[in-house]
Structure 1
Amino acid sequence: MSADRWHCLMPYPPAPVPHAASGPLSGLRLAVKDIFDVAGYPTGCGCPLKLAQSGIKPRTASAALALLEAGAEFVGKTHTDELAWSMYGMNAHFGTPVNPAAPDRIPGGSSSGSAVAVAAGLADLAIGSDTGGSVRAPASFCGIWGIRPSHGALPLDHTMELAASYDTCGIFARDGATLLRALQVLLPDPGVALDAPDLLRPADMWDQLAPAPRAVLERAFAGQSARELSIFPQGVEAAYATFLTTVNADARDSVLPFIRDTAMPLVRGIDGRVAAAEALTEPEIAQARADRAVFAAELDARLGPQGVLLAPVVHDAPFRLDAPLAVFDSYRHHAMRLLCVAGLAGLPQVVFPAGQVEGAPYGAALIGPRGSDLALLALACEMTKGQTHGSH
C-alpha cells in the first residue's frame, strides 16, 4: 500500500493469502479486482453498502485461486467502478485511480484498479471482469495487454454478477508473454488452434474511427494481409441497441434487486442505467435476445474456424478527467458500438498497445473464434514481436 501513489489498491487491512512456493507463475505479483472474493478480505464491489454487508470472505474465487496455486503472489484487491457498472474508472465513493500512462486522462473501468496496478508496475498480473468492455477499455487506455476470454471459459464463482450472459473473468499484464503464461494456467486445454489464420478487416468497425486512431491501427497492422468484410449485417445501431437491451435485462435480474432492497443513492450514470433497465418490457427483451442469437450465429459463420478480426478496441484515446459533461455522456456509447461485438457473440478478444493518440495510449485488438483464446493470444504475441509500444 505504501507504494500505491496511483490509488489503485483498496486500503484493506492486510491478511495472509497463501500461494504455492513454486510453479509456472512463481515470481509474479497478482492483484484482484474487488468484485472477486479473496479469503481473508471483504468484497466491496466499489459500493459502500456492498462493503458494509460483505464481511470477511472465507473462500477465494476459483480464477484467483488457480493463479495463486501456480505460484503468483497476492499484492492486493483493486478499485472498481460502483457495482462494476461503468467504463470510466471513476468512483464517486472511493475516488479514481491515476492512469500511469496518462495521468490527466481516465484510467478506464470498471477494472480500473487492476489495469492501473499493472501499468504502474505494482502487479505483474491482475484479474478484472469484462461485461461490456471493462478489461478491454482500461487495457487500451493504460497501454497494457488484456484479454476478454470466450464467454464461459473461466469460472466466475465467488464473484459479483452484473450481467450473466456477458460477464467474463479477464486478465491484464504488461506484455503478451506474461499474459500467455497466466492464461495457460487458467486454460490448461489448448482449445481451438489457429493453424492458418484468416485475417479479416471489419470495415464497419474501422469506419467508426477518426483519422488519428485509424492511423495508429493502420501502423499496428501494417504488413498483415487481410481481406475486408462487414460484420454488422443489420447495421451498427441495431447491434448496439441489441447489446444495450440484453445487458440491461441481465442487470435488471442481478443488480436491481440489491439497489431496490437497499434504496442505495444512485450516482450519475448508474441512475440512467437503472432507469433504462427498469423500463424494459418482456417482449423487448425476448426480441433482443433473439436478435443477439442471430448476430452471434452470423459472426460465427463469417469467421469460420480460422477467422481473426483485426479490430479497434474503442473509437478514441481516453478522455481528459476535466472533459466537458457532454464527453462523459457520449464517449461510452461510441466506445460500446465497438466493444459490443465480442460480447454479443461471446468471442475472445485480445488487446495490446498499438500507439498513442493525442499523447495517450491507444490499443488494437484481435477477435477470434470461440475457444481460440490461447491461440489468439499467441498470434497477437507473434504479430507484435519487435514492436515497441510500452505502457509509458
Structure 2
Amino acid sequence: MHPGHPAAELPGFGMPRSARRGSAGVLNVLLLIAAAAVVAGVGMFLFAALGSEAFLLCGILALIPLGICLLGLHWIDRWEPEPRGALVFAFLWGAGVSVAITLLLGSMVNEVLMTLLPLTPADVVATVVQAPLVEEVAKGLGVLLLVFVRRSHFDGPLDGIVYAGVIGAGFAFIENILYFSAALLEAGSIGLQLGFVFVLRGLFSPFAHVLFTAAIGLALGIAVRKPGGGRIAAGFTAGLAAAVAGHMFWNGGMALVYDDFFLFYFLMQVPLFGLAVAGVAYLRKAEQRLTRERLSEYCAAGWFTPTEVQMLSTADGRRRAVGWSAQFGARGPMRAFIREATNLALTRQQLVNGRDPRRNAAREERLLEELTRTRESLLQAAVSRRE
C-alpha cells in the first residue's frame, strides 16, 4: 500500500511523459551542438588572429582563473546540482555565442554611441559604455534562453546565479586569452607585462564577469518562482540593468575615478565581492530551510521518515549518510536519493507557487517513483551487507 500523495492532483492526461522528455532532450542536444560549433568557430578565429604560440600559451594561462571561477560556482551548486548538460551549454554560450555576438555587434554599437555621445572621448565610450552594454546583453540572452529550455531546473535565485556565473566564466576565459595575448605580443616575449596582466585579471579579479552576469541570473531566478511572462521580462530587464551598471562601474572606476588600481580594488571591489559571498551564503541557507519545509509535508503524508527529513535537509546529515552508505558500496544510490529528494522539494515549491502545475505535477510523480526505487536499492544493499 502506497502512502497518500500530497499533491492536490496528479496528471493523468495529455502527452506521455516519455514523449515530452524526449522532445526536450532533442532540443537540448541540438542547442549543445550549435553552441559547440560557435565555440569552434571562435577558437579558429582566435588561433588565426593570434598565432599558435600565443593562443596556446595564453589559453593555458586563462585556464587558471577559469578553474577558480568554476570551483566557486561548484560550491554554490552543491546543494542542488544542476544538470551537467545545462552547465556545459552555459559555458559554451559564454565562451562562444556571447563572444561572437560581441565581436559582430561591438563596433556597430560603438559607432551609434559615438554619434549619441559626441563630446565623450572615444576610449571612454568603447570601454565604459559600449563594452558593458553589448557584453551583458550577449551573456544575458543565454541566461534567458536557459529559463525556457531548462525550466524544470531553473527554479530559484541560486540556479540563476550558477547558470549565469558559468556563462560569465566562459566569456571571461576567452577575454583573458585576448588580453594575455595582447600583452605577450606587445612585449614580444614572456615577461613582466604578461605577468602583470595575468595577476590583475587572473588572480585579483577572476570573478568580474561572473558577478556581472550573476545579477541577471539572480533577478531571473527570483522572477521564475511564480508564473507569468511579465515577471520574467521584468526580471531580465532589472538584472540586465544591474549587470550593465556594475560592469560600467568596474570599467570606469580606474579611468574616471581612481588613479591607483589597488586602491580601487581594496576600497570598492573587495567589499562588493564580500557582499556577493554573503548573499550567496544566505541563499544557500534559505534553500536548506525550504528543503526541510517541503520534505516535512511529504513526511506527514508518509513518504519520508522524520530521520530522513533531518538527514536530507542539512549538509552534515548528507555527509554522514553518504559515509554510512559507503560501508556497503551504496554511495551512488545514496547520492541519487539525496538528489531526487532535493529536486522533489523544489518541485513541490513550484507547485505551491502555481508555476507550470501540469508539468511539475508530472515531475513530482516521477520523482516519487524514483525515490521509492532508490530507497529499495539502498535497503537491499544494507541487508546484503549484514548477511
Normalization by structure 2: what TM-score?
Answer: 0.24
| Structure number with larger C-alpha Rg | 2
Structure number with the higher strand fraction is 1
Structure with bigger helix share is 2
TM-score, length-scaled by structure 1: 0.24
